Structure formats: structure tokens, C-alpha cells
Amino acid sequence: MATTPLAQALGNLDEASVMESVRTKLDGGEAPLDILGELQAGMDIVGARFESGEYFLSELLYAADIFKLAGAPLAEGLKAAPRNNLGTIVLGTARHDIHDFGKDIVATIMRSNGIEVIDLGVDVEQQAFVDAIEQNSAQLVGISCLLTTAFDEMKQTVESIKDSGLRNRVTILVGGGPVDQACADYVGADVYCRTAQDGVSAAKKALGVS
Ligand code: B12
């Protein structure tokens, strides 16, 4: 997504401007999902500045606080009236990874599209995915991963699902900042999702609904 003034304000850790901009956009009728996209782009700026050494962990933590505050008023708008249960997804953040903003957004948007979400949280053990698929007869698995160092953990999760004989029963979706198609291929997932909305489209396709 192109850099917008809102994304830039978050990138600059300008909390007051971020909050004012979100309020103005919501009052003006902008879609919460679009506003969320701008906030995600702002977090990408923060991430790039952290990577280049311009920002430190304290700035990363402050950005996370601003994102949480700014995202709160969007939550209601992201929750559409729940529909019939179309299917079930087991969702979690890869082992050794504690980033959960993206995963939580995926959970909210899946639920509002009629997909039941079994949220395993963060830093999820491989076996926990396997057990949850079995216990809930899930057709979908979603793994969120923000750390390149956790790519092998995702790969291991897919391997564990294979070893348990459940691989053919589930469609595996992966997403998160550094994840791309090459990563999805590497870990053996079925679909790479750049956004939560891509995840909903992929989930519906896998479940055979439109
Ligand atoms: C906020 C943040 C944090 C917060 C996390 C708060 C939280 N509760 O989540 C804190 C400060 C705790 C943190 C800690 C660390 N972080 Co950090 N963090 C970020 C940052 C700036 C933003 C992430 C974010 O929330 N984005 C907004 C959300 C909405 O976007 P998203 O997660 O991508 O999700 C969207 C899509 O990707 C998609 N999606 C995501 N997952 C899934 C899954 C499925 C199934 C689907 C369908 C879709 C989907 O849907 C979402 C909505 O569209 C990123 C930079 C970045 N560009 O991502 C660095 C970043 C991920 N962090 C990084 C690092 C290094 C760390 C630390 C190791 C720092 C340290 N020295 O301690 C620790 C790691 C701790 C751990 N073990 O996990 C690096 C990772 C680098 C790498 N190559 O691996 C990044 C990329 C920054 C950078 N460029 O250097 N971090």
C-alpha cells in the first residue's frame, strides 16, 4: 500500500495525529478495513526504521501501543453480523513468535465472515495445531509468522500435520509481515495471504463458498 499521511504519522510515532486521523476517517465513513491497511503500512515504516537502526525496541513497543489504541475504535466496524458457520479454522502464531496483532485481526475478520476460529494464541507448539485440527474437525489452518527465524517452525508444523495423517483434510494458509509466496512454498503451505481479507477469500474458496 502507498504511504499515506496516516501511515506516515504512525511511522513517525505521532500518536496524537494518528488518533485524530483515525477518528476523522471513521467519522467520514471510511471503511475500517481500509484504515487498518494504512495502519499496517505505518507499522511497516516502523519495522524498516527498526531494521535500519534508526529505531530501537522502545520505539517498537511504543508503535505497538499506538497501533493498539488506534485499532480499538475500528474493532466494532470489522465485526459484521455473524453468519452461519461455514467451516472452522485453527489459527495461531508460529512457535517462538509472540506477534499477535495480525493474527487477532485475521480472527476477527474470519469470524465476521462466518468461519469459526479456534485461536491457539502465540508461540504455538506444533502438536497443539495437530490436536486442535483433530478435536474440532477443522478444514483450515492459519499460521501467522512475523519472524524469519520462525519460518522453520512453520515448516515443522506443516510436517507434524503431515505426520499425523491430517494433511489432506486441511488447507493451510500462512501470512505475516516477512511471509511471501517463496516462504509459503518453503514451509509447504497451500496459500500465502498478504492480508486478512486475502485469508477470508482463500478460506471461502477452500470451503467451496463464495
Ligand atoms: C509491533 C511489532 C512488535 C511488537 C509486537 C506486539 C504484538 N502484540 O504483536 C513487539 C514490540 C512486542 C515486537 C517484538 C519483537 N520484534 Co517485532 N515488529 C513489530 C512490527 C513493527 C509490526 C508488526 C505488526 O503488528 N504489524 C501490523 C499487523 C496488522 O500486520 P501483520 O502482522 O503483517 O498482519 C497482517 C497481514 O500480514 C495478515 N496476516 C498476518 N498473519 C496472518 C496469518 C494468516 C493465516 C492470514 C490469512 C493473514 C495473516 O493479516 C494482517 C492484517 O491484514 C514489525 C514490522 C513489520 N513490518 O511487520 C516488527 C518485526 C516483525 N519485529 C521484528 C523483531 C526483530 C522483533 C524482536 C526480535 C525484537 C527484539 N530484539 O526483541 C521481538 C520478537 C519477539 C518474539 N519472540 O516474537 C522484526 C523481524 C525481522 C525478521 N526478519 O524476522 C520486524 C519485521 C521489524 C524489522 N523490520 O526488523 N515486535
What domains can you pick out in the chain, each with its CATH number?
Answer: 5-78 (1.10.1240.10), 87-207 (3.40.50.280)
Residue located nearest, by CA, to atom 77 of ligand 1? 97
Any atom of ligand 1 within 6 Å of the Cβ of 95: no
The structure's pTM equals 0.93
Give the Å distance between the CA of 146 and the centre of ligand 1.
Answer: 4
CA 109 to ligand 1 center in whole angstroms = 18
Return the exposure string of 9-25: e unless at least 16 CB atoms fall within 10 Å of the residue's CB, then b. Answer: bbbebebeebbebbeeb
Q: pLDDT (tens digit, 9 = 90+) per residue, 76-124?
A: 887 765 667 899 999 999 999 999 999 999 998 898 888 999 999 999 9
What is the reported pLDDT for 81? Answer: 59
Residue to mutate (ligand 1; options 44, 66, 89, 99; most atoms within 8 A of CB)? 99
Whether ligand 1 lies within 6 angstroms of the CB of 54 is answered as: no
Rounded mean pLDDT of the chain?
94
| Cα 81 to ligand 1 centre (Å) | 29
pLDDT at residue 2 in the model:
63
Decide: 60 in ligand 1 pocket, CB within 6 A: yes
pLDDT digits (tens, 9 = 90+) for 186-208: 999 999 999 999 999 999 999 99
Which secondary structure element, helix H or strand E, spans residue 142, and what is its range?
strand 140-144
- Kindly report the CA angle at 120 between 175 and 126, in degrees rounded to 5? 75
